[in-house]
Amino acid sequence: MDARTCLYIEIVPLTFNGISNATVISIALDRLFASIVPTVYLGKNKPAYYAVHIILIASYTGLQLSHLLRYFEDVEVHCTMSPIFMGYSRVLWFLQAMLTYSASLIIYSIVAIVIRFRVITLKEPRLFRSLVYIFFSMLCGYFMTCFLGVLSGRNLREERSQLTMDMLIGTPMLISLCLNYFIYYLTSTELRRSFHYQLRFFRRSNVMGVAPALSFTTSSTSKITNGEREN
């Protein structure tokens, strides 16, 4: 497909990709503000505060799209999001996202330290620990994907090699998403108890599903036997 048609198809996903990346750092800054100065955070001017975040997100998204248009060439591409970032814009796209996730990791580390030393109940540390692990695994996965994207360089002009590389560099991100369940399982007693209960429930259902069939077979066989005896 020619790159211009692909750009028309991918422009909405590209825009939301920029918005989602910018929202990560925006939420991280919000959590940092709330954890360090909670009283000021509660008394903030909400319209002005939201306007600052909207400007931040819009600026990030606009910068990402400007990289794309600056180096854009109307050539044949395999139409996914990554191939329409051509030449140096591919490096800038991944680098911008990588710096965003790096900053988010630093900010969430500070937030974790601040919250960790506050007085919390016995149940809250378990929830806090599992959420921290999930945040860090996801951010590290996205960071590694962007880092590999930067390393892959800008010279992937051959369509097949570019598609293969795009599939490979997405692996850390997918692994980080898959780890969420295991992190919850290892850190949450309630989830382990619920999981074991579900296993017992399924086993019991299977046994109960077999039992009526055995009962029906036995009763039918009994009727046939009694009929033969009467004859």
Judgement on whether residues 96 and 158 belong to the same structural domain of the protein: yes
The residue among 88, 87, 77, 71 whose CA lies nearest residue 5 is 77
- Encode the chain (231 residues) as per-residue pLDDT tens digits: 777 787 788 788 888 888 888 888 888 888 888 888 888 888 888 899 999 999 999 998 888 888 888 877 777 777 767 667 777 777 788 788 878 888 888 888 888 788 777 655 445 555 566 667 777 777 777 777 777 766 766 555 555 666 667 677 777 777 777 776 777 677 667 667 776 777 776 666 555 554 444 444 444 444 444 454 444
Q: Are residues 106 and 134 in contact, defined by beta-carbon separation less than 8 angstroms?
A: no
Question: Within a 10 A sphere around the Cβ of 60, how many other Cβ atoms?
Answer: 21
Cα separation of 115 and 130, whole Å?
A: 14
Judgement on whether residues 217 and 146 belong to the same structural domain of the protein: no
Judgement on whether residues 183 and 220 belong to the same structural domain of the protein: no
The confidence score (pLDDT) of residue 51 equals 92
Judgement on whether residues 228 and 156 belong to the same structural domain of the protein: no
Query: CA–CA distance from 134 to each of 36, 53, 55, 139, 140 (Å)?
Result: 22, 24, 28, 8, 10
- The range of the structural domain enclosing residue 144 comes to 3-187
Judgement on whether residues 120 and 199 belong to the same structural domain of the protein: no
Number of domains in the chain: 2
Judgement on whether residues 176 and 198 belong to the same structural domain of the protein: no
Cα separation of 86 and 47, whole Å?
A: 38
Cα separation of 97 and 163, whole Å?
A: 20
Judgement on whether residues 15 and 129 belong to the same structural domain of the protein: yes
Judgement on whether residues 211 and 121 belong to the same structural domain of the protein: no
- Output b/e per residue, 205-214; b: 16+ Cβ within 10 A: eeeeeeeeee
Q: What is the DSSP letter of 122?
A: S
